[in-house]
């Protein structure tokens, strides 16, 4: 199978969204670009034949995490225009480090031998029925652990985000 | 170049973009967004290896991605709640200004 044009278009869209999210100045624009990147990744999963993972990505990332990030930006007044720089003083070092990481990963991909395989397999099928059977039989213990962890994370997030009682307010009400 | 290598290169590029963002941005929310991008790059690798690797009928890559998405959702919820709590305490979400625990 040759690399199809849709895959390359989606990959460029995803990468452009990610780069825009990490370089734009206004936080709301960053959140929008991040959503484009997440949606592009979901489309990439669909393009690769992983329907369930693509739809889960769409529901969780585009539907929930993007909204959470927008809420956090608005609640922390990050949408305001600010005169101060939005990049840390160690910015160039971080970019150099990221480029070095990419160079190492690309070198590993090139030299690992998977770049020139003998033959490529056909498109595997992943019907939701078999995913559900696998989740309920082989991976049922991780599924329960994930359920417990999500509950704990939800309770923890609510407790963390609860407004603290101010001591002076308590004194005021007592008087 | 075959599709698997292209998938891996796209994923490596996405990881590098997320890492650069997490290391260079001053807003704590965007640091968290960079970490999410890195997690997503790992997920793309899992899907690519499931698609082009041996034994796709075991569905290991897809199940791993589903669990990783669940963990990332929990991480985002707790992380953004932490950012809100820090903002209420310090009146800023700028990671270079939150230096109270610096030795």
ipTM, two decimals, is 0.91
Give the pLDDT confidence score for residue A4 in this predicted structure: 80
Q: Is B55 on the interface with A (CB under 8 A)?
A: no
Confidence category of residue A65, pLDDT binned at 50, 70, 90: very high
Alpha helices per DSSP H over chain A:
5-23, 27-47, 51-57, 66-75, 91-111, 128-137, 140-161, 167-174
pLDDT higher than 70, residue A33: yes
Number of inter-chain CB pairs under 8 A, A vs B: 249
pLDDT higher than 80, residue A45: yes
Inter-chain touch A50–B82, beta carbons under 8 Å = no
Kindly list the domain boundaries of chain A, sorted by start residue.
1-80, 127-175
Selecting from B27, B36, B47 the residue whose C-beta is nearest the C-beta of A78 gives B27
> Nearest-CA distance from A174 to chain B in Å?
24
| CATH, range B3-90 | 1.10.287.3510
Kindly list the domain boundaries of chain B, sorted by start residue.
3-90
pLDDT higher than 90, residue B86: no
- Short-list B26, B25, B64, CA closest to B45: B64
Structure confidence by residue, pLDDT tens digits, A134-150: 889 999 999 999 999 99
Q: Is A131 on the interface with B (CB under 8 A)?
A: yes
Give the pLDDT confidence score for residue A175 in this predicted structure: 43
Confidence category of residue A174, pLDDT binned at 50, 70, 90: very low
Which CATH architecture does the domain made up of A1-80 adopt?
Up-down Bundle (1.20)
pLDDT higher than 90, residue A122: no
Give the pLDDT confidence score for residue A89 in this predicted structure: 75
> pTM of the entire structure?
0.87
CA A66 – CA A63 distance, rounded (Å): 6
């Amino acid at each position: 199978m040759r690399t199809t044009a849709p895959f390359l278009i989606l990959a460029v869209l995803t990468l452009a969204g990610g780069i825009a999210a990490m370089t734009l100045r206004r936080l709301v624009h960053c959140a929008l670009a991040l959503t484009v990147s997440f949606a592009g990744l979901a489309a990439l999963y669909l393009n690769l034949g992983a329907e369930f993972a693509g739809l889960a990505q769409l529901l969780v990332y585009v539907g929930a995490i993007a909204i959470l990030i927008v809420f956090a930006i608005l609640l922390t007044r990050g949408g305001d225009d600010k005169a101060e720089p939005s990049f840390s003083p160690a910015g160039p070092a971080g970019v150099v480090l990221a480029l070095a990481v990419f160079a190492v990963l690309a070198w590993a991909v090139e030299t690992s031998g998977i770049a020139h395989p003998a033959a490529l397999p056909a498109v595997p099928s992943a019907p939701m029925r078999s995913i559900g059977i696998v989740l309920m039989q082989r991976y049922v213990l991780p599924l329960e652990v994930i359920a417990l962890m999500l509950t704990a994370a939800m309770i923890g997030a609510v407790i963390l985000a609860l407004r603290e009682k101010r001591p002076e307010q308590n004194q005021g009400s007592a008087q | 170049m075959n599709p698997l290598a292209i998938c891996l290169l796209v994923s490596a590029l996405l990881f590098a973009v997320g890492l650069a963002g997490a290391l260079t941005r001053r807003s704590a929310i965007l640091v968290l967004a960079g970490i999410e991008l890195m997690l997503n790059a790992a997920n793309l690798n899992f899907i690519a290896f499931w698609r082009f690797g041996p034994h796709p009928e075991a569905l290991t890559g897809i199940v791993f991605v589903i669990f990783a998405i669940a963990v990332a959702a929990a991480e985002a919820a707790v992380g953004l709640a932490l950012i809100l709590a820090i903002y209420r305490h310090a009146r800023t979400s700028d990671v270079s200004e939150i230096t109270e625990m610096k030795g």
